[in-house]
């Protein structure tokens, strides 16, 4: 299986994040991708750099205003005070119910809040470089399928499934899974299924496609009553308008066993088969691992072979998009186990 990977991800390397009110070292860090790359090379996988500009696809997934903000955010921050070069900006106010979102405030922190769903998605000087390169990798992977191949992996960071049309959150800035799905639609696929196996619900992906009938979103995740993103991911969210029936959430209690999780995966796969998708995009979050610091599911390393094998049985062209997974040392082994399980190794 070919992997698309870009060293430009290293440009996104903030030092601190807010987590439940505390300022702590970042869980989402460049080492995550390094462990994946090292394991890919150890097991003999071919790694390529992105070969496609995602610009035209980005405008179909994210709003022009949001993209413009992301691309220029750091320069805006520095223009306020050159000393901000060594200061991480964080939002401190958000346009909640009854407040306006149609106007961009002049104040930078207010603009940052307009485009943020939390204050735990830190920016750095090279954030735009990294996230744009990640989107390029996602579109490159999609084009690899469009060219007639059966499987491909986009091993990028930061993750993307919490990013909505016009907001960032949960370490996510651009929604790589949605970008890949949209690229496949433009490439001729009539129906795409997105299978999200991250511990956390992909609220951004759901919201982007919620009223569309050409993209099915299926997610297995921790119950949002107790886990991020809290405000989306419930079982009664089934889509709206043309998208009714094209959204399936399978929330599970914290502490769920591997067997409970795989029972939900079986339900997810049946929905994908029923949908008659032309291809599947897998939001490959590996924070379901028993040792993950941000997850409370109980999948052991060997079960990731099983995950890959089950996805293979869908018998669909498949693009894997890297999402979460914060047990960094084990992340590479778990990720490549999925690929080997898919390939029957």
Cα–Cα distance for residue pair 170/17, rounded to 1 Å: 11
Cα–Cα distance for residue pair 4/69, rounded to 1 Å: 26
Given the structure tokens 């991480």, which residue do they identify?
Answer: 88
Cα–Cα distance for residue pair 117/230, rounded to 1 Å: 11
List, as one string, the DSSP characters of 297-337: --B-TTHHHHHHHHHHTT-S-EEEEE-----HHHHHHHHHH
Task: Decide the pairing of beta strands 192-196 and 279-284.
Answer: parallel
**DSSP conformational letter for 242:** G
Active site residue 9: no
Hey, is 247 helix, strand or coil?
strand
Q: Phi, psi (5° rounding) for residue 101? A: -120, 0
Q: Phi, psi (5° rounding) for residue 251? A: -75, 140
Q: Could you say which of 9, 161, 162, 305 is catalytic?
A: 162
- Quote the tokens at residue 167: 């907001």
User: Which residue, among 211, 344, 184, has the nearest Cα to 279 in the 3D structure?
Assistant: 184
Other CB atoms closer than 10 Å to residue 93's CB: what's the count?
Answer: 15
CA 165 vs CA 25, 65, 68, 107, 284: distances in Å: 28, 10, 13, 22, 20
The residues assigned a catalytic role are 162
């Amino acid at each position: 299986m070919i992997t698309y990977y870009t060293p430009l991800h290293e440009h996104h390397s903030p030092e601190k994040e807010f987590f439940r009110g505390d300022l702590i070292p970042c869980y989402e860090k460049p080492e995550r991708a390094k462990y994946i790359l090292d394991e890919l090379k150890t097991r003999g996988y071919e790694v390529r750099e992105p070969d496609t500009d995602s610009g035209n696809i980005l405008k179909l997934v994210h709003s022009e205003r949001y993209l413009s903000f992301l691309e220029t955010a750091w320069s805006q921050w520095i223009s306020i005070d050159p000393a901000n070069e060594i200061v991480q900006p964080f939002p401190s106010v958000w346009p909640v119910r009854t407040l306006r979102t149609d106007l961009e405030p002049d104040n930078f922190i207010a603009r940052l809040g307009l485009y943020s769903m939390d204050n735990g998605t830190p920016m750095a000087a090279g954030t735009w470089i990294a996230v744009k390169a990640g989107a390029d990798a996602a579109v490159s992977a999609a084009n690899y399928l469009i060219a007639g191949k059966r499987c491909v992996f986009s091993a990028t960071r930061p993750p993307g499934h919490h990013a909505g049309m016009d907001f960032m959150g949960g370490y996510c800035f651009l929604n790589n899974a949605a970008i890949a799905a949209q690229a496949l639609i433009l490439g001729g696929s009539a129906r795409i299924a997105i299978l999200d196996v991250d511990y956390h619900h992909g609220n951004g992906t759901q919201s982007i496609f919620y009223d569309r009938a050409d993209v099915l979103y299926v997610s297995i995740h921790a119950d949002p009553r107790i886990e991020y993103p809290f405000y989306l991911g419930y079982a009664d969210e089934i889509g709206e308008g043309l998208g009714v029936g094209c959204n399936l959430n399978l929330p599970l209690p914290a502490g769920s066993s591997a067997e409970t999780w795989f029972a939900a995966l079986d339900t997810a796969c049946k929905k994908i088969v029923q949908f008659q998708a032309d291809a599947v995009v897998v939001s490959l979050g590996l924070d379901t691992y028993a040792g993950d610091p941000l997850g409370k599911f109980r999948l052991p390393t060997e079960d990731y072979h099983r995950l890959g094998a089950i996805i293979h049985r869908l018998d669909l062209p498949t693009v894997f998009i890297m999402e979460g997974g914060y047990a960094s040392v084990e992340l590479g082994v778990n990720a490549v186990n999925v690929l080997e399980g898919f390939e029957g190794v």
